[in-house]
Every structure is written in structure tokens, then in C-alpha cells.
Structure 1
Amino acid sequence: MSRMKIFAATLGLVAFVSASTAFAADAESCKKVRLSDVGWTDIQATTGVASVLLTALGYEPEVIQLSVPVTYASLKNNDLDVFLGNWMPSMTADIKDYAAEGSVETVGENLTGAGYGLVVPTYMADAGVKTLADLAKPEIKEKLDGKVYGIEAGNDGNRIILDMIAKPDSGLAGYELVESSEAGMLTQAEQSMKDNQWIVFLGWTPHPVMGEMKISYLDGMGDSGFGAATVLTNVRKGYVAECPNVGKFITNLKFDLSMENTMMDAILKGGNANDVATEWLKKNPDAATPWLNGVTTFDGGDAAAAVKTALGS
């Protein structure tokens, strides 16, 4: 064989190998993407968005309902890939050990401008109940029936409240935590406020229902973790390196309060998270552009074109 033919054959082989390399964006093991749903409406909304877009890109998202503690244990044990709901600093204790040993990694913030803490109706704040210390006053504790309302057992907010209750110098010393679902807590709050009764409960932003309520955050939370918050994206150790394309997509995800409020409202009214996310993406076709930057479909194709086709836009 002549040198020219050998050179041409070599070029052909290189071209074939290059094309084959470009064809697969991620390994086959990366096709299934396992995400945690801890039952909070905001995380249902953001996980719904991620799931819809991952499906459009040719991946197979699997959303698994887990508590916060089980979520982190599952990330450590490689039974889970992604969690979009690391509220900080309130979840510092939940992630601290996992982050220290490196079994759970944080790849960025997906929401800023959030808030988290104990709230009271504005009429209570107007009556002088403005700080955590105010709750210790006997007459206020009596009007509250010695109860503070939280959400599901095991979540970080309830844990912070229980820690406060356990401290004798805390405004919540001697109180009882009533644990319920998010919907159950909100129903209790709405009924109490309708009758102008006193109540203290766990509140957060974004939230369409609480966003419409006339409520005030209590001051004086110290270093409890309540107050201004950011929401971080967590993945299992080595996930981004192992699955760089989907890892890039997950890292790119950044949301805002308006977006989450809109979708949360629809979900709380009975909408399926994926259906709600699909409708929102159809109405906001440019929103996905920054999330798809540097990303391809699972088989190496045009991500933007695939999403546009999937959404029928």
C-alpha cells in the first residue's frame, strides 16, 4: 500500500473514531438520572422542570420520594444522583458530615433571595409579637396554646424548632411541635387566620400561598439557620465527572422566585409537577437557553432543538 493510501486510510479511521466519540454525550450508565423529591412544593416544581428537560434530552429521569435524611444517605450510597433542595443554612446539620467526607458534593446555587423561619399573622406582629423571645411571655404562650406548627417529621425546619424547644433559654421552651404535611400546616394556618386566632408556624419563600398571606417573620433567630436562605444543588460524589453532559445541565440549573411561585401555585391547586413544568416551559421558551449552554442530548445531538421539538414550540 502506498504512503498516500496509508495516510488516507489513517485519516478515515481518525474521522470515524472522532465521529463515534462525539456521538455519545454520556455513558449508558448515565442515561437514568435519579432525583429526590422530599415532598416540598418548591422542590417538586424544580425537579419537574429538570425531569421534563432531561426527558427531552433523551435521558430517563426517575423521581424518588424520600425524606431529607434518607436523601443524603442515598446520595452517599450511590442510590441517588441529584437533589435540588439543599436549603442553606438551615440544612447545615443535614449535609455537614456528608460534605466533610466528600460523599455528597455541592455543584452550585439554584435559587437566591429565599427565606425560611417562624412566622406569625401580621395582626400578631402588630400586637407586639415580633421576636422569638416574645413567644416566651406567658400570656402569648397561652394564646398560642403552647403549640408551634411545622411540616413533615424529619425535615430540617422541624429539627431546628425541636432544638429551640429543648433549650430552656429559648422563646420556644415548653412548646409542643405539631408535625404535619405542608398542606396540613397551611390548612391549620388559614383556618386560624380566618378566625383571627393566634398561631405560629414554619414559613418560607418562595411559596404562592404564604406569599399571599399577611404574615411576618419573627426576628431573633440567632444562628439557628432560620432567616435569609439560598437553595443549593447536591449530587453524589463524582457524578459530574462520571456523567459530564448531564452534570453540566444539572449545574446550569438556576431558578427564580417568580418562576417557582407560579409553578408552586399550579401544583398546590392539584397540578402534576411535570405537567405544570411543561406548560411553564412552553410559555417561557427562552428560560431553558442558559440551562442548555454547553449541553447536548444524550446521543450528542442539538439540545435546544430537542427541547423545542419536545415542547412542540
Structure 2
Amino acid sequence: MKLRALLVATAAISALSASAAFAAEPESCKEPHFADVGWTDNTAQNGLLKNVLDGLGYKAKIDNLALPLILEALKAKQLDFFLDNWMPSNAANVQPYLDEKSIDSLEPNLMGAGYGPVVPDYVAAAGVKDIKDLGANKDKFDGKFYGIEPGNDGNKIIQAKIDDANSGMAGFELVESSEQGMLSQAEKAIAAQEWVAFLGWAPHPVMGRMKLVYLTGFEKDGFGDAKINALTRPGYVADCPNMGKLLTNLKFDLAQESAVMDDITKGEEGQAAAAKWLKANPGVLDAWLAGVTTVDGGDGLAAVKKSLGL
């Protein structure tokens, strides 16, 4: 009887300890604050996560910010995390923060991505396959290379090549705009069979439908095969262990992101597009929510499924 009483008491103490540990989590952890950089893949990621957070009882806040501002906000602890750090292209921007330990980097949440300068297949067939081929055909491109928003890592790589007289891109103008603006220009040029060079990446449903060829000669600059990982403010995973567990569990794939992105590019709001995908593919929640509770310590998986009407 004494042994049984001891076991019961031990179990009760363990349960109380676990409950106390969860309750001791800072109040700020219940309102995760993260960023959307304006890329469709990031909007898809954020939409998927926001559906999960709503089901768990978190009150998430998402700010639309340019990449340099995101990094500074993470350092200043004005943001909790950012899901869409593309590597190795963003290495030069992120590394100083990692070196001074003012930003933490998590394990990749997406593998097998691609990023770099592209041309339409008919331009490649005409002989433009490498960076060195751009300069000789500058007039056919109207001297322009189309990038995305100012401050983007890819734009910085292209501008450095333009500034390098030996690169083959000397004399080009980098045209910076939004992702949507760049794609609109590219689609217009391709429809007219004009020559155009721009930044391309996968996953992306619109670019996935285009017949594009990645240019070689940029591999040492950070373009090529890519992986994506989350960045957090320093110490966030330890400060907010339940959110930290969710971010650690969160893994995406190319087909998943492309499907959500496709609906977004057709005009659907990001969270609605993500909810539709989750309802059609609920099995992904098992891995994402393993060991994750609701904000008040309840069954996380059951709560999210209920929230989504599953």
C-alpha cells in the first residue's frame, strides 16, 4: 500500500510539474509575431502556420516587411521568427547576425528548392546558357535584368555581377520591383517571344508553368540548389518551448507549397488557400503537432482538426 501511495504521489507531482512548466511560459509566447516578406511562398507558409496557430489558441500577428528590416527586427526582438530564409543566397546577409548570436537559425523546413537567374527556353536555345553569354547579347535583352524587391539577396548578387567588369553583365540595368511586377513583365515578354532575363525559383506555380532555363556561372555566388529555414529572435525556442517545438516540427515540400501558391496567385487569400489544402491533406498535421499542445496545455492535434472542421 505504501508503494502504491508513493507511485500515485509521484505521478501527481509529475503532472503538477508539467502543468506548472507550461503555465510558466511567458505571456508573450501566446501572441507569436512573425513576418511576411511579400514572396508568394512565404505567404503560403504563413497561411499554413496561421491555420495551425488559430486552432491551438494562439493570437498571431504578421507584419509585411522587407528582408533587411526583418533581420534587424529579429535582432531587436521586435519579431519572434521568419519562416523563409533562402540559403545559400541569403548567407551574406544573415551570417553577421549568426556570428554575433543576435539571430538563431533552425534546421531547414524545405529542401530541394532552386533559385537563380533564368531565361526562356527559346533564349537558351539561341545560345544564352551562362552568365558569360549575357553581355554579348545585351541589346537583345534591352540591357535589363529583372529582379524583385529592393534589398533582396538575389538582387544584391545580380548587382554585384553588373558592377564586376569581368562578369559578362557589365552595362546591364537591374530593374527592381515586386515579385508580381517582375512576373508580369516576364510573362508579357515571353508571350511576345522577346528576350528576357530575370530571377526564377521553385517552388512557384507560375514559373513552374513557364519553360525556363537556369543560367550557369552563378553557383559560387549563392544561386542554384537551395534550402529554406526559419530564423528566430535569439533564444526564442527556449523561451517559448511549445512554439519552438512546432517550428522545429514544421516541414514543407515543393508540391505542397506550389499547390497553395497556385491558389494565392489566382487571387485567393493566403490563409484561406492554406486551409483548403490542409482540409484535403490533414495527415501532415500529425507530424507538425507531435508533442505540441494548445496554448492552455490541451490536445493540440485534436484542437487544430476541430478548428479546420476535420
For residues 228 and 61 of structure 1, the distance between their equivalents in structure 2, rounded to whole angstroms, comes to: 32
- From 275, 287, 290, the equivalent of 2:284 is 287
**Once the two structures are superposed, what CA deviation does each residue of 1:144-169 show, in whole Å capped at 9, x if it has no partner?**
11100011111111111111111111
Matched, 1:185 2:182: yes
Q: How high is the sequence identity, in percent, across the aligned residues?
A: 52
Amino acid across the alignment from 2:111 = T
Gaps spanning 5+ residues in structure 1: where? Answer: 1-6
**Contact 1:292–1:303 (Cα < 8 Å) also in 2:** yes
Q: Which amino acid aligns with 2:76?
A: N
Deviation at 1:29, TM superposition (A): 2.0
Q: Say if 1:15 and 1:212 are closer, same or farther in 2 by CA, change over 3 A.
A: closer
State the distance in 2 between where 1:18 and 1:72 align: 36
Cα deviation for residue 14 of structure 1 reads: 4.1
- Structure 2 unaligned spans of 5+: 1-5
Classify the secondary structure of the residue corresponding to 1:305.
helix
Contact 1:45 1:263 in 2 (8 A): yes
Report the residue type matching 1:42 in the other structure: D
Contact 1:26 1:298 in 2 (8 A): no
In structure 2, distance between residues paired with 1:97 and 1:297: 35
- The answer to whether structure 1 residue 234 and structure 2 residue 231 are counterparts is yes
| TM-fit CA distance, 1:222 | 3.7
Task: Give the one of 148, 155, 160 matched to 1:163.
Answer: 160
Q: Could you report, residue by residue, the CA deviation over 1:250-278 in whole angstroms, capped at 9, with x for unpaired residues?
A: 11111000001001111111111111111
Q: 1:25–1:298: 8 Å Cα contact kept in structure 2?
A: no
**Shift in Å at residue 13 of structure 1?**
8.5
Residues 170-179 or 202-211, more deviating: 170-179
The question of 1:221 aligning with 2:212 is answered: no
Partner of 2:47: 48
C-alpha displacement at 1:108, in angstroms?
A: 1.0
C-alpha displacement of 1:293: 1.0
State the shift of 1:91 in Å: 0.2
Pairing partner for 2:241 from 237, 244, 250: 244
Q: CA offsets per residue over residues 43-79 of structure 1, 9 Å max, x none?
A: 0000111111011111111111111000000000000
Deviation at 1:17, TM superposition (A): 3.8
Runs of 4+ residues deviating >2 angstroms: 10-20, 22-27
Structure 2 CA distance for aligned equivalents of residues 101 and 292 of structure 1? 32
Q: Deviations over 1:199-222 (max 9, x none)?
A: 100100100000000110001114
Aligned equivalents of 1:108, 1:188: Cα separation in 2: 35
**Counterparts of 1:301 and 1:22, CA distance in 2:** 14
User: For 1:53-132, what aligned pairs fall within 5 Å after superposition?
Assistant: 53-132=52-131
Aligned to 1:176: 173
Which residue pairs with 1:136 in the alignment? 135
**What do you get for the CA RMSD once the two structures are aligned?**
2.1
Counting matched residue pairs gives 307
Displacement, 1:25? Answer: 7.9
- Taking the aligned partners of 2:82 and 2:63, their CA distance within structure 1 comes to 10
Q: Distance in 1 between matches of 2:24 and 2:269?
A: 30
